Amino acid sequence: MLFLYQERSDKVAKRLQLMAQRYEALEKRRNMEVEGYKTDIKLLRQRLKDVEKQLFKVTLNIGPDQDLAILDAVRQGNKKTQKIQGELRNLKAKICGLGNELRIG
């Protein structure tokens, strides 16, 4: 009888150890993905600043008729930026959901 409990206890301990290893691997992966997202956001912000600088230089050399065209181009760029930010938020939510599933499961 004692052997049976010891065997079950060993199986549970091994399973717990395996789940802990999986959880650590998932946490490490999630942290790396978050770090990657932060890097992507940083790069996107830098690109946006560069575009703003270029836009400012261009607007100094143009007439009033071209202002509306440039404004329209900026608005379209903003729409793309918002779409990318939405996609990043969705990915982050999925990662958090997977982490929660692992904790619960």
pLDDT, position 60: 73
pLDDT, position 63: 64
List, for residues 63-80, the tens digit of each pLDDT value: 666 767 777 788 888 888
Residue 38 is part of which domain span? Answer: 2-104
CA dist., res. 101 & res. 38, Å (int): 24
Under 8 Å between Cβ of 102 and 22: yes
Cite the beta strand spans of the chain per DSSP E.
none
Taking 70 as the threshold, does the pLDDT of residue 55 lie above it? Answer: yes
User: How many domains in the chain?
Assistant: 1
Residue 51 CB neighbours (<10 A): 13
List, for residues 32-45, the tens digit of each pLDDT value: 888 888 898 889 88
Query: How far, in whole angstroms, is CA 80 from its chain's centroid?
Result: 17
